[in-house]
Protein backbone atom coordinates (compact mmCIF):
# COMPACT_ATOMS: atom_id res chain seq x y z
CA UNK A 1 0.00 0.00 0.00
CA UNK A 2 1.38 3.38 -0.99
CA UNK A 3 1.52 6.27 1.43
CA UNK A 4 -0.11 9.62 0.67
CA UNK A 5 3.36 11.06 0.14
CA UNK A 6 4.18 8.41 -2.44
CA UNK A 7 0.91 9.05 -4.27
CA UNK A 8 1.73 12.76 -4.23
CA UNK A 9 5.12 12.00 -5.78
CA UNK A 10 3.42 9.93 -8.49
CA UNK A 11 1.12 12.86 -9.26
CA UNK A 12 4.11 15.21 -9.46
CA UNK A 13 5.88 12.87 -11.86
CA UNK A 14 2.76 12.55 -14.00
CA UNK A 15 2.55 16.33 -14.27
CA UNK A 16 6.30 16.76 -14.86
CA UNK A 17 6.69 18.80 -11.68
CA UNK A 18 10.36 19.11 -10.67
CA UNK A 19 11.05 16.94 -7.65
CA UNK A 20 12.47 18.47 -4.51
CA UNK A 21 15.57 16.84 -3.08
CA UNK A 22 13.71 15.49 -0.08
CA UNK A 23 11.43 13.47 -2.38
CA UNK A 24 14.26 11.62 -4.13
CA UNK A 25 14.22 8.81 -1.54
CA UNK A 26 10.52 8.25 -2.26
CA UNK A 27 11.20 8.21 -6.00
CA UNK A 28 13.94 5.62 -5.51
CA UNK A 29 11.51 3.41 -3.57
CA UNK A 30 8.87 3.83 -6.27
CA UNK A 31 11.39 2.83 -8.95
CA UNK A 32 12.35 -0.28 -6.96
CA UNK A 33 8.67 -1.20 -6.56
CA UNK A 34 8.04 -0.71 -10.33
CA UNK A 35 5.70 2.27 -10.00
CA UNK A 36 8.14 4.60 -11.76
CA UNK A 37 10.56 4.04 -14.63
CA UNK A 38 13.68 6.12 -15.08
CA UNK A 39 14.81 7.08 -18.57
CA UNK A 40 18.02 9.04 -18.32
CA UNK A 41 17.18 12.04 -16.16
CA UNK A 42 13.44 11.64 -16.68
CA UNK A 43 10.96 9.70 -14.62
CA UNK A 44 7.70 8.32 -15.95
CA UNK A 45 4.83 6.39 -14.46
CA UNK A 46 4.44 2.72 -15.22
CA UNK A 47 1.01 1.24 -15.95
CA UNK A 48 1.06 -0.03 -12.36
CA UNK A 49 1.27 3.56 -11.06
CA UNK A 50 -1.32 4.84 -13.51
CA UNK A 51 -3.74 2.20 -12.21
CA UNK A 52 -3.10 3.24 -8.61
CA UNK A 53 -3.84 6.88 -9.42
CA UNK A 54 -6.94 5.92 -11.35
CA UNK A 55 -8.19 3.67 -8.54
CA UNK A 56 -7.66 6.44 -5.99
CA UNK A 57 -9.44 8.95 -8.16
CA UNK A 58 -6.37 11.14 -8.38
CA UNK A 59 -6.99 12.66 -11.77
CA UNK A 60 -3.85 14.14 -13.21
CA UNK A 61 -5.49 17.54 -13.63
CA UNK A 62 -6.56 17.58 -9.98
CA UNK A 63 -3.29 16.71 -8.26
- pLDDT of the residue at 63: 43
- pLDDT of the residue at 60: 52
Q: Mean pLDDT, 10 residues at a time, over the chain (63 residues)?
A: 91 88 90 94 94 78 48
What is the rounded CA–CA span in Å between residue 25 and residue 18? 14
| pLDDT tens sequence across 24-39 | 899 999 999 999 999 8
Contact status, residue 13 vs residue 44, Cβ threshold 8 Å? yes
What is the rounded CA–CA span in Å between residue 32 and residue 20? 19
CA dist 43 to 15, 37, 38, Å? Answer: 11, 6, 5
pTM score: 0.83
- pLDDT of the residue at 32: 97
Amino acid sequence: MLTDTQVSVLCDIAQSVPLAGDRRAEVDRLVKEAYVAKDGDLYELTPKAEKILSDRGAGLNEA
